């Protein structure tokens, strides 16, 4: 079970790093070293997939990686925009 959680956390970290590599991300004021974040994110997704492949079957591992990546890419921009809005409001 530890292998599964490590794979999920690596996938989430990789997805977050890929989000930080985009020019329209809202966490930092401007994108910093997008190539570094992009390669780190891709590596995190691959490592997460390899860890999950050692724990589950191929289809399950791929769907877990895609689901976690979509979760991160859906929630992080909303949370960042909400925090930025609350900061401007006060």
Q: For residue 7, give Cα distances in angstroms to 18, 19, 36, 48.
A: 16, 18, 21, 4
| 77/72 Cα distance (integer angstroms) | 9
Of 35-44, 51-60, 61-70, 81-90, the poorest mean pLDDT is in 81-90
CB 47 within 8 A of CB 10: yes
This prediction has a pTM of 0.90
CB 48 within 8 A of CB 61: no
| 31/56 Cα distance (integer angstroms) | 35
CB 14 within 8 A of CB 67: no
Q: What is the pLDDT of residues 67-89, one digit of tens each?
A: 999 999 999 999 998 988 887 77
């Amino acid at each position: 079970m530890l292998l599964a959680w490590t794979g999920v956390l690596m996938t989430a970290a990789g997805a977050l790093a890929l989000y930080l590599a985009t020019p329209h991300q809202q966490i930092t004021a401007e994108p910093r070293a997008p190539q570094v974040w992009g390669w780190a994110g891709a590596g995190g997704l691959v490592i997460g997939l390899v860890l999950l492949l050692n724990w589950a079957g191929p289809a399950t591992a791929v769907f877990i990686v895609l689901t976690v990546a979509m979760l991160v890419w859906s929630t992080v921009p909303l949370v960042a925009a909400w925090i930025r809005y609350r900061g401007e409001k006060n």
